[in-house]
Amino acid sequence: MAKKKRPSKPIKLMSRKKSNERIILRTGEALVEGDPAWSAAEPEVVIGELDGPVGYAIANLLGDQVKGHSRVFAILNSDVQIRPVTLMVSKVTVKSSKYTNILMGTVQAAIAHGVLDAVRVGDIPKEKANDLGIIVSVWLDPSVTNADIKIDFDLLFETNRAATAKALHKAMHHEPGIDWLLENQDKVVHRYFQMGLEGKI
């Protein structure tokens, strides 16, 4: 009687190798817009090992606070920090308490959920959640402080959550790839360059 062959597990071995691969430093950015201009989210992210350049950058940024550009961890709520550890930094100089409350409230929570979404879908290996660090450079439209604007906080939360997850997906998958960039280089025009050409700036 022939011996039964043990089933091979190439998929499991491949995924294990991938999850153990060192992620030194990867970058990504994304833009997600809602209907009102103030709802746009455009994060830039860096992700990598905590015992590498990203981890060192997180420690340095957290310990070297700058007025108007505070660096804080992404949290679900006070006392509930997420993994991978994520440090958010504002691209805009913070000058008002209203802006601070929106940035350190709605946007901070949205980023935390976006990171966890990236883990849940497998863009960030769950097994490396304690080994990786993320820096998110955040852009929140300063017009959110205008008294005549009624902010839809659900919309602002969703655009920032989606943009964070999208930027991390792009970082982990090296998107857009160099072949696409070379093929589309002359087809993609920077929005504000185009506005300048049209005399709108």
Q: What is the pTM of this model?
A: 0.87
Can you list the domains of the chain with their CATH numbers? 37-176 (3.30.230.60)
Q: Helix crossing, 153-172 with 108-120: angle to 10°?
A: 40
Question: For the segment 44-100, what is each residue's pLDDT rounded down to a tens digit?
Answer: 999 999 999 999 999 999 998 888 888 999 999 999 999 999 999 999 888 889 999
15-35 mean pLDDT: 82
**Residue 32 has what DSSP assignment?**
B
Ranges of H-type helices in 37-152 = 53-63, 97-102, 108-120
Question: For the segment 145-156, what is each residue's pLDDT rounded down to a tens digit?
Answer: 998 999 999 999
Question: For the segment 126-151, what is each residue's pLDDT rounded down to a tens digit?
Answer: 999 999 999 999 999 999 999 899 99
Are residues 87 and 134 in contact, defined by beta-carbon separation less than 8 angstroms? yes
Name the burial class of residue 29, with classes exposed (0-12), middle (13-18) and buried (19+) by CB atoms within 10 angstroms of its CB: middle
Give the pairing of strands 75-77 and 80-81.
antiparallel
Judge whether residue 4 has pLDDT over 60.
no
Q: Look up residue 180 and give its two tokens.
A: 């696409």
